[in-house]
Amino acid sequence: MPTPLWKSIAATLEADIAAGHYQPGQKLPTEAALALRFGVNRHTVRHAIADMAERGIVRSRRGAGVFVQAAPTDYPIGRRVRFSQNIRAAGRLPNRQILRLEPRPCDASEAHLLGIEAGAMVLAYEGLSLAGATVMAHFVSLFPTARLPGMAQALGENPSITQALAQLGIGDYLRLSTRITAEKASAAQAALLALREGDVLLRSVAVNATPDGVPLELGTTWFAGERVALVVGPD
């Protein structure tokens, strides 16, 4: 029996991806363009794309198109967790986009984790963590204002938490605890992370402290589950 057209199209596109003609995260041509290329109708192209999506080769994003699926980036979590270091180790360029930098009172739960009084002022730092042009995570970090009075200015000048702390004279900090859970992306989170509502997020709630155990940061991070694999280790 002859090979169905849609299977031949899928095999050709897979070969293109394997050869690097379409890179991980890159958008494929439209259905109309692919139909023209292969001399078939759009339904046949759609069948080929659906087969590739089912096998995890591509991913369709409503209203955006079809993208080559990238393998999840390993993100080690140990005593020292550094976003830039982890992303560079994966061969990608780290960056952060600031969404919010504002002081506010902390609630009782936040105060307990940070070892401060309920209602004490914290700096809320909200943003996006990127690898190249790909958004990997949405985060909200809280810093005790009394312990880090210059943090807002330092982060305003450089969005890297590690470099901002170093600017304030804190050359090292350690992870005291990390709690990881899975949840579904809300509509707002999906928009920030370029996902679909309901896609899986890996939620990490972590406390970082000075080497002698004084809490400096309470960070909540929502990682895009399809792009990040959290790897728990001792270092």
Nearest Cα residue to 193 out of 226, 219, 230, 160: 226
Overall residue count recorded for the chain in this entry? 235
The tens place of each residue's pLDDT in the chain, 235 residues long, gives: 778 899 999 999 988 988 889 888 789 999 999 999 999 999 999 999 998 888 778 888 878 889 888 778 889 998 998 988 988 888 888 999 999 999 999 999 999 999 999 999 999 999 999 988 788 999 999 999 999 999 999 999 999 999 999 999 999 999 999 999 999 999 999 889 888 788 899 999 999 999 999 999 999 999 998 888 899 877 6
Three-point CA angle 178, 187, 125, nearest 5°: 45
Nearest Cα residue to 23 out of 186, 134, 135: 134
Nearest-angstrom CA–CA distance, 187 and 192: 9
Q: pLDDT at position 108, please?
A: 98
Q: pLDDT at position 54, please?
A: 81
Instruction: Find how far residue 189's CA is from the centre of its chain.
Output: 11
Domains of the chain and any CATH numbers: 5-68 (1.10.10.10), 73-232 (3.40.1410.10)
Q: Nearest 5°: phi and psi at 64?
A: -115, -35
Between the alpha carbon of residue 180 and those of residues 177, 201, 214, 221, the distances in Å are 10, 10, 22, 9
Q: pLDDT at position 64, please?
A: 82
Q: What is the pTM of this model?
A: 0.77
